[in-house]
Amino acid sequence: MLTSSNKLKLAVFGFNGGAAFTNHPDRYRPTWESNVRIAQMADRMGMEGAISASRWKAFARDGHYSGDLYETFTWAAGIAAVTKRLCVMSTVHLSVMHPIISAKMSATVDLISNGRHGLNLVCGWYPAEMGMFGAAMGDHDDRYALAEEWVPAFDRLWKDEHSFDYKGKFYDLKQAIIQPKSPHPRPVLMNAGGSERGREFAAKNVDVAFIVPQDPRPEALKKQVDFYRNFAREKYGREIKVWMSSYVVQRASVQEARDYVQDYVVNQGDSEGIDSFMANNIGNSHNVPTGVIEQMRFAIAAGYGGYPILGTAQDIASTLSMISEAGVDGVLLTWMDYEGGLKQFGDTVMPLLEKTGLRSPAPVYPD
């Protein structure tokens, strides 16, 4: 669960589809069987979460692999049924997922998982996806204004025992209710609010703020984390957790790992897919500092824009220790080869994290 006592929490991210834009033969190709194996492996090694990515339409063209992601509520129900402890999180496009439908599905997954469901809230930024639903994509602030109505509507649906009316600019619910209800508290909510408006939304509404480091230096990362956490505390009187994403490449040396990333991102990179992603994303991004577009492009192609964690098991453990010392509460992890990479991580990195006190040994797995 995301609320474990481990100082540094860990989750596997995006294995319902894959994390890299590449034509390299090692690129992950999801099957249901591989999803089950990855989730159960993470569960047994004591990781806190399994978090889906969401995509309704491929980039570049119809049939491009970037659209091959399992739908996130259905996926979460299946993963919940075959795991014991993981928090299983569905990524939700608020612009196209009505709060009543989302609350009903979330309550169902929560009942299946015995209180282990969570939601990663995204406001949507890909116009072609919105167009599929016959909806124009609102501007940046309007999308967050919709989210500000979505969350309280979801909250009331989760807890209210009687039908209620709810009216705002975007929603007009009449005698709304969901049944059956989950007896557990509202699912953990996560959001990557990077812009000023997004930070306002996350600080006010969610439990976990997901950040994209804008400077790799430890002191800069700590400053970014402290700013976010203090903003929520001082403006809204709320204590939030701060997480980030990283792609992991474990090799015999840092240089060998860098060479591998260079090979799959540059030499065998998918320019068609990443060009489409960047063309749609950059025009809607309000938090990209001048001069970092190429760095952003590389990181997205390498692993969903994550922070690189490269090298030997000791190198990886040391980088995770630095991230924790900067104040980060948890890390979403991706790999090119999820199964092989996760197993290697569990066998060699997790024991080192236990020695440093960042994590406790995984408890005995319930049969």
Strands 117-122 and 87-93: parallel
Contacts of 212 (CB under 8 A, 6+ apart): 192, 194, 244, 245, 287, 305
What would you report as the CA-atom Rg of the chain, rounded to the nearest whole angstrom?
Answer: 20
- How far is Cα 14 from Cα 20, in angstroms, rounded to an integer? 10
Residue 215: predicted pLDDT: 84
Element spanning 270, H or E: none
Residue 118: predicted pLDDT: 98
Give 326-355 as a DSSP string: TT--EEEEE-SSHHHHHHHIIIIIHHHHHH
Q: Which of 101, 85, 82 has its CA nearest to residue 93? A: 101
3-state helix, strand, coil in the chain (%, to 5): 45, 15, 40
> Domain for residue 363, yes or no?
no
CA dihedral 68, 70, 72, 76 (to 10 degrees): -150
Tell me the CA distances in angstroms from 100 to 105, 122, 211, one per residue in order.
9, 17, 28
- How far is Cα 125 from Cα 130, in angstroms, rounded to an integer? 8
Give the residue numbers spanning the domain of 256. Answer: 9-356
CATH code of the domain covering residue 30: 3.20.20.30
Count Cβ atoms below 10 Å from residue 244 Cβ, excluding itself: 22
List the chain pLDDT tens, one digit each, 367 residues: 788 899 999 999 999 999 999 999 999 999 999 999 999 999 999 999 999 999 999 999 999 999 999 999 999 999 999 999 999 999 999 999 999 999 999 999 999 999 999 999 999 888 899 899 987 778 888 999 999 999 999 999 999 999 999 999 999 999 999 999 999 999 999 999 778 899 999 999 999 999 988 888 999 999 999 999 999 999 999 999 999 999 999 999 999 999 999 999 999 999 999 999 988 876 555 555 556 678 888 999 999 889 999 999 999 999 999 999 999 999 999 999 999 999 999 999 999 999 999 999 998 877 7
> Domain for residue 4, yes or no?
no
> Domain for residue 51, yes or no?
yes
User: Domains in the chain: how many in total?
Assistant: 1
> Domain for residue 46, yes or no?
yes
Q: Which of 110, 194, 94 has its CA nearest to residue 152? A: 94
> Domain for residue 361, yes or no?
no
Exposed/middle/buried for residue 364 (C-beta within 10 Å: 0-12, 13-18, 19+):
exposed
- How far is Cα 98 from Cα 1, in angstroms, rounded to an integer? 26
Residue 8: predicted pLDDT: 98
> Domain for residue 362, yes or no?
no
Q: Which of 101, 17, 105, 1 has its CA nearest to residue 53? A: 17
Supply the pTM of this predicted model.
0.94
Residue 289: predicted pLDDT: 58
Element spanning 85, H or E: none
Q: Which of 344, 285, 287, 286 has its CA nearest to residue 311? A: 344
* Amino acid residing at 334: T
State the distance between the two ends of the chain, measured CA to CA, in whole angstroms: 17
> Domain for residue 245, yes or no?
yes
- How far is Cα 309 from Cα 295, in angstroms, rounded to an integer? 15
Residue 227: predicted pLDDT: 94
Q: Which of 178, 54, 156, 206 has its CA nearest to residue 107? A: 178
38 forms beta bridges with none
> Domain for residue 367, yes or no?
no
